[in-house]
Amino acid sequence: MTGIRTSAVRPEARGGGDRIPIPVDARPAAATLAYVRTSYPVVDVLRARHTGYLLATSLLGRLPGAMAALAIVQLVRATSGDFAFAGLITAVYVIAGAVGQPLLGRLIDRLGQVAVLTVSGILSFLAFTGMALTLEPLPALAVALAAAAGVFTPPLEPALRALWPRLVAPGPQLKAAFSLDAGAQEVIFILGPLLTVVGIAVFGPVGNLLFAGALGLVGAVAFVLDAAPRAASRSRQSRGPHHRSPILIPAVARVAVFTFGIGVPVGALTIVATASEAARSSEGLAGWMLAVNALGALVGATVVGIRPLGSTPARLLTVCGVLLAVGYLPLAATALPTWAYVVVAGISGLMLPPTLGQVFERISELSPAAALTEANGWVVSAMTLGVGAGTLAAGVVVGAAGTSMVAWIVLGASTLTALVSLIALPGRATTR
């Protein structure tokens, strides 16, 4: 291709239906200047126009999700000190977020990214503000506002993942983009707690919650200032009849169930790490385990970004899910030396970004383009609920039977993930 401007639209991706026509000047340089491509797809993705900015602003806007739980608990601790209430209001926020993502994703598919992300960012920030100010005098209202903050969390994850097939070339670049996205998510869970600690030190517990909400608003607004989301939003004006919800497509529903399954051991790890710290009387072990697990995920994302997996998501999802489950099994060896136990925590994180990358790519194949944001919202919610279920179940087991149950928790979570991987995705799923 030459640098001549045309009105052509990039060809449709397989199984994706019609695609949003992004103006030539809003398309990535890597898609229009083939000769600058490198042998590393992840480098091509990062060099393409829009992608680096959209990924960075999306991550900024997603930070409240990694900050809110600790921020809310610390605020409750500074006021009433009621940990049961802290658990309740945090759970309400998380569950409401899981409900809101596919709903807001559906609105994006109908109204475009600019309007929905901007309005939801404002409403979520206002809800965070109200929750921070009413938590002590009006706790019931604070719970309702926590639900609002969760429901109106800007759906930046599904929004970005709906844009990837339109921003980079199909094949290795698209695989690398999805893996990069999944790996970058780990950075959020490293920075989120650190920013919470800094926010409390600088702004106090109340101001820190406002700080978290403001980051979400700034990230959402910055995201929609880019040309690609604005072009995608303009194209919605010419859409035809609305599609049914993609979760009603059996293959999409199976991928959502699969995603729930891979979230279970991820959620259980928090309790496993905390219980292991208590059992070994090793101060700070839990933090090290979680940090090294995130580092392992970054390594996995980097490797797959440089050398994307060669087969199709339809073939790879089950394999990736089983390998992820196997990767957690060494954590059942609780007699390992502490240093080795930290290392196996890192090993358990290796397969998460490659697996999620396959999930995102498969969803882009299965869902109609007009419902792609909602479809991505469903898998984000499924992952959130899986993580929550894993944390809850592991916490109940340790609370009832003590830290000696860590090995059984790991075995149970890994077995569940492997079974879901084998059962939820029988054979090669159809595209509709």
* Residue recorded with tokens 């309740």: 88
pLDDT over 80 (residue 113): yes
410 vs 6, 283, 288, CA distance in Å? 55, 21, 18
For residue 8, what are the contacts with CB-CB under 8 A and spacing of at least 6? 24
CATH number at residue 58: 1.20.1250.20
What pLDDT does 37 receive?
57
Q: Residue 233: which pLDDT band, with cuts at 50, 70 and 90?
A: confident
Measured distance CA(173)–CA(77) in Å, rounded: 46
Structure token pair of residue 258: 């699969």
Choose between 289 and 121: higher pLDDT. 121
Residue 86 resides in a domain: yes
Domain boundary among 202, 219, 238: 238
Count of domains in the chain? 2
* Averaged pLDDT, 396-414: 90
Residue at 13 is within a domain: no
More confidently predicted of 59 and 35: 59
Per residue in 322-367, pLDDT tens?
Answer: 999 999 999 999 999 999 999 999 999 999 989 998 898 899 889 8
Determine the Cα–Cα distance for residues 99 and 90; give it in Å rounded to an integer.
Answer: 14
Nearest 5°: phi and psi at 337?
-60, 155
Quote the Cα angle for 179-183-185, to 5°.
120
Cα 365 to Cα 162: distance, rounded to the nearest angstrom: 11
Between 21 and 44, name the one with better pLDDT: 44
pTM check: above 0.95? no
Which of 42-46, 140-144, 246-250, 355-359 has the least mean pLDDT? 42-46
In whole angstroms, what is the distance from residue 69 CA to residue 33 CA?
A: 44
Query: Quick check: 157 and 62 in contact, CB under 8 A?
Result: yes
Is 16 domain-assigned? Answer: no
Which residue in the block uniquely carries the two structure tokens 């983009």? 177
Q: What is the pLDDT confidence band of residue 239, given thresholds at 50, 70 and 90?
A: low
CB 354 within 8 A of CB 304: yes
221, 113, 62, 309 alpha-carbon torsion, rounded to 10°: -130
The DSSP call for residue 245 is: P
- On whether residue 59 sits in a domain, the answer given is yes
Report the SS3 class of residue 213. helix
Pick the last residue of a domain from 238, 260, 277: 238
Instruction: Tally the residues of the chain.
Output: 432
> How much is the mean pLDDT over the chain?
83
Q: Say whether pLDDT at 3 is over 60.
A: no
Report residue 366 as tokens: 């299965």
> 376's torsion region: left (phi>0), alpha (psi -120 to 50) or beta?
alpha
Q: Collapse the DSSP code of 176 into the 3-class scheme (helix H, G, I; strand E, B; otherwise coil) and give the result.
A: helix
Find the DSSP H helices in 225-334.
227-235, 250-280, 285-306, 313-328
144 in Cβ contact with 126 (< 8 Å): no
Evaluate whether 150 touches 350 at the Cβ level (below 8 Å): no
**How many of the other CB atoms lie within 10 Å of CB of 111?**
14
Residues 281 and 371 in one domain: yes
Work out the pLDDT band at 310, boundaries 50, 70, 90.
confident
Do 283 and 355 lie in one domain? The reply is yes
Token pair listed for 221: 């607004």
Residue 38 is predicted with a pLDDT of 60
As a whole number, mean pLDDT of residues 389-397 equals 86
What local confidence, expressed as pLDDT, does residue 173 receive?
A: 84
- Structural domain includes residue 12: no
The DSSP secondary-structure symbol of 307 reads S
Q: What is the mean pLDDT of residues 4-14?
A: 35
Question: Model confidence at 110, in pLDDT bands (50, 70, 90)?
Answer: confident
Is 230 exposed, middle or buried (CB count within 10 Å of its CB: 0-12, 13-18, 19+)? middle
d(CA 130, CA 132): 5
Within a domain: residue 7?
A: no
* Cβ–Cβ < 8 Å for 420, 390: no
CB 161 within 8 A of CB 22: no
My answer on whether 123 and 198 are in the same domain is: yes
375-406 burial code (b ≥16 CB/10 A, e <16): bbbbbbbbbbbbbbbbbebbbebbeeeebebb
Say whether pLDDT at 126 is over 90. yes
Decide which of 238, 260, 288 is a domain's last residue: 238
Domain housing 262: 246-424
Same domain, 232 and 279: no
Instruction: Show the tokens assigned to 23.
Output: 């103006």
Residues 221 and 296 in one domain: no
How far apart are the C-alpha atoms of 27 and 267, rounded to whole Å? 37
pLDDT of residue 14: 39
- Give the Cα separation of 198 and 351 in Å (integer): 31
Of the two residues 311 and 430, the one the predictor is more confident about is: 311
Within a domain: residue 432? Answer: no
346: which 2 tokens?
């890192």
Do 125 and 108 sit in the same domain of this protein?
yes
pLDDT exceeds cutoff 60 at 28: no
pLDDT of residue 398: 85
Closest CA to 231 of 10, 61, 14: 10
Regarding whether 283 and 252 lie in a shared domain, the answer is yes
Pair 213, 88 in one domain? yes
Query: Is 418 in the same domain as 278?
Result: yes
Query: Is pLDDT of 31 > 70?
Result: no
19: in domain: no
Assess whether 85 and 211 both reside in one domain.
yes
- Is the same domain home to 196 and 328? no
What per-residue confidence (pLDDT) applies to 255? Answer: 94
Do 50 and 152 reside in the same domain of the chain? yes
pLDDT, position 329: 96
- What is the distance between the alpha carbons of residues 66 and 49, in angstroms, rounded to a whole number? 28
pLDDT digit string (tens) for 160-197?
A: 988 988 888 888 888 888 888 887 887 887 788 888 88
